Chains A and B, each alone.
Chain A
């Protein structure tokens, strides 16, 4: 270090910086923890309720409706959405041993090193960003087919009233897919950079570099 210019005491600067005197009390943290767990529980109940409602709606719709090709397609769309929701719900249950009690990710965060945690978080977000893409594309294809059918026929099917909303939803889905794709690409870039970093570690870990010798 003798060749380098005057070096400020960075550690001292860092550790003596002014911090706000905000210390959370145990009561406050306990209250937040209860609130968090209640929110998780509500989320799970809401998802389950949605599946039950969707299943009931499809059942009523398919048993009472006159069987036209348009209604058949609508039924397929609903069935696809229902399947994807059930699938997501199963994933939530599977990924959580005790979904009602505590947050599993907190102990994981403590027992996992930063590099492992970083990788697992990136992979989790990548899976999340990539998950709806194929489902939404499937729904879009079905909606496209349904729209074409409705536009070329002059039936008085009341389902036709839903068409503008269906088109709006389709446009929204396209946007969502695009955003998800963009996010997935960014996360993939981060994973690639992490792999480069890990390779560098493995390459550097086998022998002492000049910097390391210098530090020693």
Chain B
């Protein structure tokens, strides 16, 4: 039997080993607390924004080159980075990356502009076993929830200057 949950467990071990002990790229995720952030009539948070976290994760990173475009304000800095999270790490931490969250990576802040969860091992997402609407197992292939895994979450980000984020340890604000 292939891609059963026992195999998924092995894959999870291997991923955590290679991401945590071999590659060891880490980032911190700040989750935007929408309910505590006051916005104006335009939906802008002119005042403070509140975040949960940081949550530290081992990730795989695909960095694009730094760019330095010029505009009316002078020379700017831009860099887009894709962070690949092991989805099981996020599940264990009870964290769901969303647009608007902030990723801290190497002293730089990166705003989340999109998230993609599309890497299904063995081509199958166990969250959708195609059971009947009343909960009865799929008559053609029962127990499909035991096969495959939704492996990763791609978080695409863009660079945000630190002064615009204004994230700092809570104590320093007093």
- A, B bound: no
Residues of B within 8 A of A (CB): none
Residues of A within 8 A of B (CB): none
